[in-house]
Structure 1
Amino acid sequence: MNASTFNEIYSIMEEAFPPSETRTREGQQMLLDHPYYQLLTECDETGKVAGFLAGWDFPSFRFVEHLAVNSQLRGRGMGQKLLTCFMENAGKPIILEVEPATDEITSRRISFYKRLGFHVNAMGYVQPPLREDQPELPLLIMSYPIPLNEEEFAPLRETLYSEVYKLSSMEHVELIG
């Protein structure tokens, strides 16, 4: 990936997510070489990145870390196209983290994922911070193609905490409680 494409993706990421839900530019760039990490992009008519999906393809599941479309181009089906592409031929569960429905935007986001076949799961979950000095975030886990229970989700959470969030086993225990 060239520097210009990365910069376009990172600009959309900074616009769409608060700092507590993103890595630093350097931290995000380092992921580009990780064997499980992948970026899918959708471009506008000028060839500029208009949206992206940042995901992880682990041996036993896929994880959608970020999905965002340029705010001026939302509502045109780009997010759905990116997510559908990530879902195709997965052959394993796909999970994502989402904020609880507290307003119209968060409710619409959950509805979007539900329309694509995702299920809201009942278990508690805390997203570790992606940057130093940021808070943990209580989020919901959504899964595709079926809902997961705590026992089914536990090994997936362990992978997320160790691979995506780089937590030690002791830190896992502290977050889970």
Structure 2
Amino acid sequence: MMLQKQFDQVFKIMKQSFPAAEYREYSEQKKLLSHSCYRLLTEENEQNEVIGFLAGWEFESFRYVEHLAVSPNIRGGGIGKRLMERFMNQSDKPVILEVELPEDELKRRRIGFYERLGFCLGDHSYVQPPLRAVSQQTLPLQIMSYPAKLTPTQFEMVRKLLYKEVYGATSAYAHAYNS
């Protein structure tokens, strides 16, 4: 079981790395630790402080990367790549993740990072449901998949499962955001 101190370090990096709309409130994020499908990989320094993490989900037919982040002051040193490779090598299931649209240099570089790991950028339109009840903010994203691009049928299956399991979105809700 993850220690409180470790979780607090993970959450701090999460807050430093993502806009508020892209992660849950502290208590909701912590609750995921007891979910049977949720996985949290961490990278720690010599002082046993978390310096990077990957938060993912293990489903029957694929694995999903929800968050990957490294402490801002040490990015670019290969920690994110190591965490991704560790997650990818734990199973032979396809791996799915969401990326922001390639609208600026940082977002294009992020997509390039995943492409160098073997991910394929999908061309299906996709919207991330809100992670916080108060914001109701949806986010247009794209799905990347490894080792191959998703077919339309696979994409629908992935989208439905993510909406239900990760976002807790009802099917009526999910339908409204996919038209």
SS in 2 for 1:133: coil
Aligned pair partner of 1:162 in 142, 155, 164: 164
Native 8 Å contact 1:123 1:149 kept in 2: no
Q: Which residue of 2 aligns with 1:79?
A: 80
Q: CA shift at 1:91, angstroms? A: 1.6
Tell me which residue corresponds to 2:147: 145
Letter in structure 2 aligned against 1:160? L
Task: Give the structure 2 partner of residue 12 of structure 1.
Answer: 13
1:115 paired to 2:116? yes
Return the offset for 1:89.
Answer: 4.1
- What is the Cα deviation at residue 40 of structure 1? 0.1
Instruction: Give the corresponding residue for 1:176.
Output: 178
Is residue 2:77 matched to residue 1:47? no
- Aligned-pair distance for 1:47? 1.3
Q: Aligned letter for 2:67?
A: H
Q: Which residue of 1 aligns with 2:36?
A: 35
Size of the alignment, in residue pairs? 177
Quick one: distance in 1 between partners of 2:47 and 2:105? Answer: 32
Structure 1: tracts of 5 or more residues without a match:
none
**Residue 42 of structure 1 aligns to which amino acid in structure 2?**
E
Structure 1 residue runs of 4 or more that deviate by more than 6 Å after TM superposition: none
Deviates more, 1:89-98 or 1:72-81: 89-98
What is the TM-score of this pair, normalised by structure 1?
A: 0.98
Aligned to 1:24: 25
RMSD: 0.8
Distance 2:100 2:106 in 1: 10
Structure 2, unmatched stretches of 5+, are none
Look up the SS of the partner of 1:10 in the other structure: helix
